[in-house]
Amino acid sequence: MASSVAVLAAVTVLTGVLGPAVASAAPGENPAAVAQTPDELRTNAAAVVGLAITPELLRLSENAFVYEIYQAAVRQGDVAREVQYEASDAYLNGRTSYFLATGIYEAHQRDLDREALYQARRAERQPAATLLGFELTSVLLGQEDKDFVFSLWERAAKGSFVKAAAGAVYSGTPAEQEDFIVRGIFVEYQRDVDAAKEAAEKEAAEKKLRDARVKAGAVVGMDPALAAQLTDKDFVEAIWFRDLAPRDSEVYYQAYASRTPEQQRAFIDTGIFEAAAKDKVDAIKIRAAAVVGIDAGYARYLQEGPLVREIWTRSTAGTQVQAAAYRAMQSESPAEWRAFLETGIFTAAAADQH
């Protein structure tokens, strides 16, 4: 960084204008180096701070005139900081003649040198300041690289790669500190971005798994909080180990048969719902089959159509149950079979009782 600053400072010195040229001064020569009248001294000094000279200003005492220059420098702000200090010192300590002849130009040159340094630092530091979201003030521009690295460390997020790297490079070499400011901080910031993205994706994936277990757990009445915190393996094993489903149910059997991580995940995502649907149908078939004395295991084994036929075969001839079973069988409609097994057979059985 020092080399780039030196170049900019040199350019500023060579191209900067300290004030209006004095008629008797050679090109590039300091106005204080040639003989000047009191009015010329004041006119040239006033030009340094952009103070428009007037007859009234020329009639002021030298001390009062220096005070006017001081006020003009204050209006210019930080860019004229050295002129402000020098004018104040001259005004308070009776050095006004030296200030008007020489001091103001030396102070102005220091201001130009500082601004050249700040310009170079601003170009190098502004991206890092923008990255962390803070204003690059003149105080920060005035810091050496090591101190600026510390400022970056202070503003970096706790636990971030940026903060860790800034803390490490603070004790490094000037070259390492400069490299961190212009390059390294962005590498570390990207690591933070990538880590945050990875963590968000991981959390989203884990939430999806938790939500799936909670949804699956509702099938067997498992506590949602418990379902969310269990692993897939523990969740599946809890269903059969804790008898959360009847031992003769499809849910129990499918849970017991799910032994690999892939099988357990498939059971949670879809298997448990398919098994529960089958258990629901089996319960309908078993209840209907019991009307005519068909074994529960056999009823569970038969599909709905064949079960309707079996009920028709086993029902007493001439009964309402037989007639209803025959109509359902003849329809060849799965919807009619289901309606018969769910309600029709019981309506018919009730009619046979009267």
Residue 35, pLDDT score: 54
Is the pLDDT score of 7 beyond 50? Answer: no
Residue 207, pLDDT score: 95
Give Cβ neighbours of residue 114 (< 8 Å, ≥ 6 apart). 81, 82
pLDDT tens, residue by residue, 293-316: 999 989 988 999 999 999 999 999
- Per-residue pLDDT band for 20 (boundaries 50, 70, 90) equals very low
Residue 6, pLDDT score: 34
Structure tokens at 58: 């020329």
Q: What average pLDDT does the chain have?
A: 89
Q: What CA–CA distance (Å, rounded) separates 348 from 118?
A: 98
Average pLDDT over residues 314-326: 93
The answer to whether 268 and 235 have CB atoms below 8 angstroms apart is yes
pLDDT tens, residue by residue, 238-266: 999 998 999 999 999 999 999 999 999 99
Where are the domains positioned within the chain?
A: 2-124, 126-203, 205-272, 302-352
pLDDT tens, residue by residue, 125-147: 999 999 999 999 999 999 999 99
Is the pLDDT score of 179 beyond 50? Answer: yes
Q: What CA–CA distance (Å, rounded) separates 107 from 84?
A: 9
Structure tokens at 220: 């067997």
pLDDT tens, residue by residue, 329-339: 999 999 999 99
Residue 199, pLDDT score: 96
Q: What CA–CA distance (Å, rounded) separates 145 from 76?
A: 27
Task: Report helix, strand or coil for 117.
Answer: helix
Q: Quickly tell me which residue has 């359902």 as its tokens.
A: 328
Range in 19-23, 73-77, 169-173, 290-294 with the lowest mean pLDDT: 19-23
Residue 11, pLDDT score: 30
Check residues 4 and 298 and name the one with the higher pLDDT. 298
Residue 243, pLDDT score: 87
Q: What CA–CA distance (Å, rounded) separates 352 from 323?
A: 11
pLDDT tens, residue by residue, 85-100: 999 999 999 999 999 9
Q: What CA–CA distance (Å, rounded) separates 102 from 36?
A: 12
What b/e sequence results for 32-45 when a residue is b if at least 16 CB atoms lie within 10 Å of its CB, and e otherwise? beeebeeebbbbbb
Helix (H) or strand (E) holding 30: none
